[in-house]
Amino acid sequence: MRIIIIGCGKVGRALARQLSAENHDIVIVDTQTRKLQEFNEDVDAICLTGNGASIGVLQEAGIEVTDVLIAVTGSDELNLLCCLVARRVSQCHTIARVRNPVYQKDISFIKERMGISMIINPEYNTAIEIARLLRFPSALQIDNFAGGGVRIIKFKVLPEFKMDGVQIMDLPRRFPSKVLICAVERDDMIAIPSGKFALKNNDLVSIVGSPEDCATFFHQLGLSTQPVKNALIVGGGTVGYYLADKLLEYKMNVRIIEKDQSRCEALCELLPGASIIHGEGSDKKVLLQSGITAAEAIISLTSVDEENIFLSQYLKDRTNAKLVTKVTRIAFDSIIQKLDIGSVVYPKYLTADSILQYVRALQNAVGNSVQTLCHILNNRAEALEFSVKSSSRVVDIPLYQLQLKKNLLVCSINRGGKIIIPKGQDTIQAGDTVVIVTTQKALQDIDDILARQG
């Protein structure tokens, strides 16, 4: 597919890298030549200097033969204009990043009237992700599939679980619940494990199952499955506003620390149910006065990644609260995965995953489309949900007879709302949606889980 990306910022670069690796023809447009030159050194893409809303620039980029245009500049209005112009001169699909809360309630109207295929709000999506974590605080990461009927949940193996040295095949006898261990992270190693894989303390384990079965498993481990009742948010920016608004809907007690006086005043008007504290979130005195010892969750959402990371690092030994850390720059990955700072959320990954899901679904002419896509295991594996058509080569064949690719696991089957954690004798049927976890990148169709023959 030919894809034009308008905006060479963090999201634009992340998308270009991923889509180029999946063998798409990429054109990336930005007004700053320097940014394009720096980026062009390590990615196979055509770089074009210019304004993405200009018909001339779009024509130079090949808009007439383009399949998808993605506008992710720093301006909501420019992104919408780029999509509008593209739709007037071509039949391509258009995707716009729109971040301003002013537009959030009008997203459906804007999308319909302007003919935009997809509008994504990274800050709002990040807030929803964090709110989900606070409703299941023992989890480090939660990804939903099958409309919320299936979850992949990551947790850390602690000594009190008495799992050290236990093989996965023996876990059901100790913890009788209908969940499946689908991935394990240990230091720099990741595994999609077999039944003989032995767990160790401090492993990061991902399980898959229904929300009820996952809750049962966590309860058996002695971990809390109750939502937090009060939360302290450090940073009152856009994500902080969206998160506080959502938590207030859940009847949580919400406090926000914000250093900018005018922003505090605005938040007081926007969020009358929250307590707004004017102060520096990295100041120990302010933190103590804000009640960190009583908080059940502390979420670091300042605009500075280093401040968020250091704050969570400082708090981990001073509170039992659920810690959530927002990180914007993806380059910190290798360092962060070695730190014990609770749940880490990456707005850029959330945005890129949503767009990649849409692009892969467009590619599939057969119709076994990608319903959901999440990068897991520190972006080294993917969890995908496929819808299955009768023409698929996997239909009606017991799983144990399928020649699957290596490092790939069929995690769940959703059949008319009934969630099946599959065994070897189970089959995939037309109409099912199937969740796959794999280190094989760029799967676009359920048939892609099969190893090539011959």
Query: What is the torsion angle, in degrees rounded to the nearest 10, for the CA atoms of residue 312, residue 74, residue 36 and residue 441?
Result: 60
Please tell me whether residues 234 and 289 are part of one structural domain: yes
CATH number at residue 408: 3.30.70.1450
Please tell me whether residues 107 and 141 are part of one structural domain: no
The model's pLDDT over 2-40, given as tens digits with 9 standing for 90+, comes to 999 999 988 898 899 889 988 899 999 999 998 898 887
CATH number at residue 313: 3.40.50.720
Domain boundary at 166, 196, 221, which? Answer: 221
Region 313-321 average pLDDT: 91
For 181, the token pair is 């261990």
Strand order in the sheet with 343-345: 275-278, 253-258, 230-234, 297-300, 322-326, 343-345
Please tell me whether residues 408 and 329 are part of one structural domain: no
SS3 88: helix
pTM of the full structure: 0.88
**DSSP-assigned beta bridge partners for residue 279:** none
Give the position of tokens 């100041």: 283
- Residue 44: which pLDDT band, with cuts at 50, 70 and 90? confident
**DSSP-assigned beta bridge partners for residue 278:** 258
Residue 353, in any domain of the structure? no
The model's pLDDT over 129-139, given as tens digits with 9 standing for 90+, comes to 999 999 999 99
Please tell me whether residues 181 and 276 are part of one structural domain: no
The model's pLDDT over 51-95, given as tens digits with 9 standing for 90+, comes to 999 999 999 999 999 999 999 999 999 999 999 999 999 999 999
Please tell me whether residues 199 and 233 are part of one structural domain: no
Side chain identity at 201, as an amino acid letter? Answer: N
Residue 351, in any domain of the structure? no
Provide, rounded to the nearest whole percent, the portion of the chain with pLDDT above 90: 74
* Count of structural domains, the chain: 4
Domain boundary at 76, 91, 120, which? Answer: 120
The model's pLDDT over 154-212, given as tens digits with 9 standing for 90+, comes to 999 999 999 999 999 999 999 998 999 999 999 889 999 999 999 999 999 999 999 99
- Residue 365: which pLDDT band, with cuts at 50, 70 and 90? low
Domain boundary at 155, 189, 221, which? Answer: 221
Residue 126, in any domain of the structure? no
Residue 429, in any domain of the structure? yes
* Rounded Cα distance, 180 and 158, in Å: 18
Q: What is the pLDDT of residue 454?
A: 45
Please tell me whether residues 40 and 105 are part of one structural domain: yes
Residue 375, in any domain of the structure? yes
Please tell me whether residues 215 and 286 are part of one structural domain: no
Residue 399, in any domain of the structure? yes
Beta 2-6 vs 68-71: how paired, if at all?
parallel
Domain span at residue 162 reads 131-221
- Residue 331: which pLDDT band, with cuts at 50, 70 and 90? low
pLDDT at 241 > cutoff 60: yes
